[in-house]
Structures are given as C-alpha cells and as structure tokens.
Amino acid sequence: MPYIKIKLPNNGKKAFVILMEHLKIPLSEAQKLIDKKRLFCDGILVEEKNKILNGLVELIVYENKPKGVDIVFENDDFAVLEKPSGVLSHPNGRHCKYSLCDEIWALWGQNACVAHRLDKETSGLILVAKHKNSQSSLKKMFENKQIQKEYLALVGGGTLDSFKVDKAMDLTKNYDDIKTRMQICKDGKEAITEFKRLDFWEEFNTSLLLCKPLTGRQHQIRLHLFHMKHKILGEYLYGLEKKDIEKILDGKMSLKERFELTGATRLLLHSYGLKFTYKNENFYIQSKINIKEEFQKALSIKI
C-alpha cells in the first residue's frame, strides 16, 4: 500500500485545526495523524499540534490498491477473509506496496481493521472488525482467549497421532535485527499447543496436522513444532543461518533455493478455523480453500 501526499488548504491556523476542518475528524484523530508523523509544512515534519502553519501543508495518506480477496463470512460487525500467503496483514512502512488493508479499507473504510494478525507467509482465515465498537469487542475476546483458532500445518516426518506441547517462550535473547524471533525458555510466557495428525503423505514423508494454540504467543505453532523436531515445511526463521533468512526476507532467494533449504516454496501453515460466541450467537467459521492442493503445489516445484 503506497503512500501519497495530499495538499490541504492553509489559512494560517493551528495544525490540528487544519486537519479537523479539512478531513472533518475529531480532535483525537487529528492528534493521532500528527503523532504518526503524517503532516508536513513546506516539506518539514510538523510535530507540534498547536503550531500555526504558514506555507504548503501536505498530509501523507494511504492509497488503496485492492486486488480482490475472498470473503468467507460477513455481517454488520465483522467479516472473515481468506488471506493469501505472502501478503502482510497490515502495512509495515512506506515501502509496503500492498497489504490486506488495501482490501479492507476499500471494502469498509479506514475504521475497519484486522482484529488479529497472521504472519506474512501464513495463509487462511483472518477476522476483520468493520467498525470501532466491534474492534474493541473482538480484541478483548482474543485477549481473554474467547476465540479459538485452528491451523493446518504440513511438517516433516511421521508424528504421533496426537500430542501436546507445553513449553514457555519469549523473545530470543540474541535478537539480531533480522526479525522478531522467539525461543523456548523456562522463565518465558506460558505457551500450550495441541496437535492432531490428520494424514500422512507417504510420497513426501510429511504429516498434515491440526494445530490448536491454547495461548496466543507469536510464532507459537512454528516454534513448538521446530522444538519437537517436526519443522513446518517452508519454515525459514527457525533453523536457517542468518544470511539465508535475510535473503528470504529481502526477496532475493529463488524459489528453487528456498525449496532446497526449507522443503517448500512457502511456509505451509494455514489458518483453518475460528470458533467463538459473539452477541450470544455461536460461530464456527472454516476456511474454504483446498489446502491440500495448495500445500502440494508448494511441494512440487520442478528443479
């Protein structure tokens, strides 16, 4: 989602007043835009909300460029979308050319937002709050563990029919600016995941697992499976050298090399189900993607 600059009329008024009058937004929203470093006067960043602006006033805004997205479910308060692998849940800076917000804001406006996030390469269901009231409610439900998430993962080797990993985790101590990474540690935050094997693909020596995280730690499923020596195919943050991780993150590694290093051309993790109660109504929303077919595509690159 690229940024563009729009010109605002300037009558020598205070910065927040110019924003409120032109955009027809409340004071709090105007202040947020200034705090987010979006307002400029004569090319210089405006950081003082009460500053009188005399000159060319410009505001950085997002320019939505939707490509189309599958809507699995929708009502007045929220929607559930199928996020493709390789798409960011939310723009991560001015150099981000496209994210799921391009779709969300084009469909429901900028008050809509994701209620939780998925890693860039994780595909599948993502819950979207369509307005601020539902945003507050849904985020609290996630915090209170009132929304159960289910994932499908394809891992190397044969696993037990069912197993549970109860291993605390936290940010790695030797964080090296590649990306936020986690580690198993005794003094970390509680992290529990239940796993059930759904199928064994003998041709690829891989197991298809249903994964149920009972806690919501970052990279929880990825790290728990890596710890259990059943690494998710396509996994790159855990198990590769720094130089290879950087090549993948920077988009400089070929699909062939990625396949040879990780066993797949993408991370084979898919958000499959969301189960919760909202306004006294029970929901169990499941992905409609043929994930077996999708996973097998990532396993069959011609090299």
Catalytic positions, please? Answer: 119
Exposure b/e, 31-56, CB count within 10 A at least 16 = b: bebbeeebbbbeeeebeebeeebeee
- How far is it, in rounded angstroms, from Cα 2 to Cα 266? 25
List the one residue out of 173, 154, 181 whose CA is nearest residue 245. 181
Q: How many CB atoms lie within 10 A of CB 167?
A: 18
DSSP string over 11-52: -S-BHHHHHHHHHT--HHHHHHHHHTT-EEETTEE---TTPB
Q: Is 258 helix (H, G, I), strand (E, B) or coil?
A: helix
Amino acid type, 222: R
User: Helices then strands (H, E): number in the chain?
Assistant: 8, 16
Asked whether the beta carbons of 132 and 251 are under 8 A apart, the reply is: no
